[in-house]
Structure 1
Amino acid sequence: MKFDVFSQMEYVVRSPGTLILNIHALRSPNQTVISEEFGLQPYIKFEELQTLQGENRLVRFDVSADTPNVKVTYKATIDNCYEITDFGHLQETHVSELPSPVLPYLNPSRYCQSDKLYRLAHNMFGHITNPFEQVVELTNWINKNVQYLSGSTNSQTSAFDTVTEQAGVCRDFAHLGIALCRALTIPARYFTGYAYHLKPADFHACFEAYLGGKWILFDATRLVPLNGLIKIATGHDAADSAIANIFGDVTFTTMQVSCELAEDSFEPFYYGDGEFKGLSYL
């Protein structure tokens, strides 16, 4: 499916500093960047970086008080491909059989304290033998028991906090899903991207669980179709995949984000009750 994505952010600069942005669509074997433009107003020299794992495309540039207002613009046309897999007969994969690059996604992280949620995860979902069904059920539980409430959390809110407060935004829903998966010995990672049909338009966060040798996408918010996402980055949690890291006295002021279909037809895909078909971005 082809999508047109756009993001624009503005900053006020009060002292010299550096910005590292993570807004470029990821290039992968089956997510093709057909065209893209990145610009800064006023013009500032920038460099594009890529993380060692190749799961983030970063842009870094310096700012100074001589240019107190900086506008960042990114737009691209993306063609992505997804796969639907039947997990009706999926069995648990032992840790000894997991590929080494996947193993770090079993560990607790800053926002996903899976060690603190071990008892909760096993009491509620440990009786389910199919790992795909486990993740579907915990995702459904989050959707039913955590209220989506803008402004209810901040950059310090963790998965453990979300269980206690029972409110959050997409970032918090994703962190809780990841933590519960890891507590069940299912590798899970954070996913951030552009989202088709998201209202109000914004960057979106969800998560992927490693099942049957594939990273399968889950979204506890149910705000967007699973096949309407353009991947920007993945990581252990939001700390690895932040849209912007700011160093210096620089203040974010405004943002615009959009993701529009660049084709004539689109059939939204969601997980249905009693079905075992999972979606992965290849």
Structure 2
Amino acid sequence: MSTIQIDCTLDYEVLSPTLFMFNIAATMNEYQLVQNEQLTLTPYYPYEAYSLGSPANRSIRFAAPEGALQIHYQASVQLSHTLDHPNEVGEIPYLSLPPNVLPYLNPSRYCESDRLGRLATKLFADAPSGYYKVKAVLDWVYENIDYIPGSTDSSSSISEVLLQRAGVCRDFAHLSIALCRALGIPARYVAAYAPGLEPDQDFHGVFEAFLNGRWYLFDSTRLAPVGSFVRISTGRDASDAPFATLLGAAELVNMAINPIDTAVNNTPTMDWAISTSVL
């Protein structure tokens, strides 16, 4: 168990009246206890708070006129994990999968799993089942895709990532998700705060695979300790989990994200299968 202190500041220059939706609050579930949090808008505008999906993605939306805008989010989040030995984390037959997990086997906007069946079979036909098969996917992505900041943008799909063999965290997650789905393993995207993230602090894109009746967390970039991630939002891919969506004209002029693990030495390692969500 550890406690993560989150401090996130986003500064915008609003060029014309704009509608904003932000998704930067920590998820509340049985693994993440949000002990206290504070959201500040400067200048203040009335906003609506709501939750969508399962696990619930907590969002706010509001309208802002021209001018400077700052959104500041602080929270203290206590994490607890279910730690399983990898040997005990197996795959679930298709007919036994819960119905609400089935959509995470389908292709999505950024995870074109229907195009990767042949590649996935060729690469992982001999891989052990369960946790170790997902670990084999993670290892292959890590070893064959270069992490290069700025090498892709928000429109890049895994087909482009495979062609250029480079991407950022969301691309590593998308490719891993698509390969898992092509192998018949449900997988989904997670946006998170990641204490210790190198080289630069940012919102981090990782993924989960559904095994043994639970969702297990993985990070193909290996840029931060998995056990310290604080879940923000979850979806089929990054299109379901953007930190900001806007209708209008505004520029992000500064972003400062500073999550700190106050008990980093107690963070679980990759030797364990780490579950942070049931369904």
| TM value normalised by structure 2 | 0.95
User: Are the counterparts in 2 of residues 55 and 235 from structure 1 also a CA contact under 8 Å?
Assistant: no
Task: Provide the residue aligned with 1:269 in structure 2.
Answer: 268
Q: 1:89, CA displacement in angstroms?
A: 4.9
Task: Provide the residue aligned with 1:86 in structure 2.
Answer: 85
Task: Provide the residue aligned with 1:280 in structure 2.
Answer: 275
Give the letter aligned to residue 63 of structure 1: A
Task: Provide the residue aligned with 1:111 in structure 2.
Answer: 110
Q: 1:127, CA displacement in angstroms?
A: 2.2
User: Are the counterparts in 1 of residues 79 and 228 from structure 2 also a CA contact under 8 Å?
Assistant: no
Matches for 1:25-104 after TM superposition, within 5 Å? 25-65=26-66, 68-104=67-103
Give the letter aligned to residue 184 of structure 2: T
Task: Provide the residue aligned with 2:16 in structure 1.
Answer: 15
User: Are the counterparts in 1 of residues 151 and 167 from structure 2 also a CA contact under 8 Å?
Assistant: yes
Q: 1:240, CA displacement in angstroms?
A: 0.2
User: Are the counterparts in 2 of residues 10 and 255 from structure 1 also a CA contact under 8 Å?
Assistant: yes
Stretches of 4+ moved more than 6 A in 1? none
Relative to structure 2, which stretch is displaced further, 92-101 or 103-112?
Answer: 92-101
Where does the alignment leave 5 or more consecutive residues of structure 1 unmatched? Answer: none
Give the letter aligned to residue 6 of structure 2: V
What RMSD over aligned residues (CA atoms) do the two structures have, in Å? 1.3
User: Are the counterparts in 2 of residues 189 and 208 from structure 1 also a CA contact under 8 Å?
Assistant: yes
| TM value normalised by structure 1 | 0.94
Where does the alignment leave 5 or more consecutive residues of structure 2 unmatched? Answer: none
Task: Provide the residue aligned with 2:5 in structure 1.
Answer: 4
Distance in 1 (alpha carbons) for counterparts of 2:25 and 2:91: 35
User: Are the counterparts in 2 of residues 20 and 58 from structure 1 also a CA contact under 8 Å?
Assistant: yes
Distance in 1 (alpha carbons) for counterparts of 2:270 and 2:23: 29
Structure 2 vs 1, CA of residues 122 and 154 (structure 1 numbering), >3 Å: closer, same or farther?
Answer: same
Q: 1:269, CA displacement in angstroms?
A: 3.2
Task: Provide the residue aligned with 1:244 in structure 2.
Answer: 244
Task: Provide the residue aligned with 1:181 in structure 2.
Answer: 180
